[in-house]
Amino acid sequence: ARDEELWRLACVKVWGLSVGTLDAQDAENSTVYYSWRDMFIRRERVNFSGCYISKTTYLRMGENSFQDQFYRPVQLVEYYRYIRFMPDGKVLMMTSADEPSQGVTKIRNVHNIRPDVLRGRYRLFGDTVTLVLQKSSQSRATTGHVRQRRGSVMPLDEDSNATQFLIELRIGHSPKRRCAQLVWSHYTLVQKRNKVDTSSEFDLTDAKYPSLCFSPVKSYHLDADAPLV
């Protein structure tokens, strides 16, 4: 369990080409890792054995009553946002009114994605995870590249008329688990129409975009819950 080659392979599985080496310091936070196992335990990453979930709640004013002009109903709206990461660099995101017990099942089968699920790829940069997503129903005949912030290039399916979602999340920790929170830092919608891109940024308020918290899901289980001892 302490074999360094095993831990190096585990690090490569999580960070891919950006895993770096033990000789060089982490470019983002100048952290020095003393072994591959030390890197796997302490370095920020995303968890694969579940999904990150947030709940948004707000009040929406209804129309005035026809019979009583002084009565105006108020509706309580609740919905959840789900993000699931896979070790091969793929990511799924879904917004749904379903409770987590039902919502997590809709993104369990990665080969049979529902039309309301966004799919794409992600990359890790220090404590930041960058996502490029698009609707799963769009054509995937050709493959192109989208240049994302921080100079990275992420492969994504290309379509002459497509809608893409560019997201940056900061990895945080909960009192009980490392890398168990995702905090919104950037969200841009890019619409391509006749080879012309139009982008718009979302206002990331805490009320509309609360932090996502990691929740283990047994049917997603791919890795151990804790470092081997």
Q: Quick one: pLDDT band at residue 83, thresholds 50, 70, 90?
A: very high
pLDDT tens readout for residues 27-71: 555 678 889 999 998 899 999 889 999 999 887 776 666 666 666
Element (H, E) at 58: strand 50-61
- Which range, 68-72, 75-79, 132-136, 201-205, has the best average confidence (pLDDT)? 201-205
Please say whether the beta carbons of 169 and 185 come within 8 A.
yes
Angle CA(126)–CA(56)–CA(164) in degrees, nearest 5? 55
Rounded Cα–Cα distance for residues 85 and 120 (Å) = 10
61-75, 89-103, 122-136, 143-157: least confidently modelled range? 143-157
What percentage of residues in the chain have a pLDDT greater than 70?
A: 76
Mean residue pLDDT across the chain = 81
pLDDT of 121 > 90? The answer is: yes
Please say whether the beta carbons of 104 and 95 come within 8 A.
no
Please say whether the beta carbons of 154 and 132 come within 8 A.
yes
Rounded Cα–Cα distance for residues 194 and 77 (Å) = 36
pLDDT of 147 > 70? The answer is: no
Rounded Cα–Cα distance for residues 218 and 49 (Å) = 7
DSSP sequence for 159-224: -SSEEEEEEEEEEE--SSSTT-EEEEEEEEEEEEETTEEEEEE----TTTSPPEEEEE-GGG--S-
Residue 189: closest CA among 143, 134, 228: 134
Please say whether the beta carbons of 32 and 139 come within 8 A.
no
Q: Quick one: pLDDT band at residue 20, thresholds 50, 70, 90?
A: confident
- What pLDDT is attached to residue 14? 85
For residue 115, what are the CA distances in angstroms to 74, 107, 136, 220, 226?
30, 11, 6, 20, 35
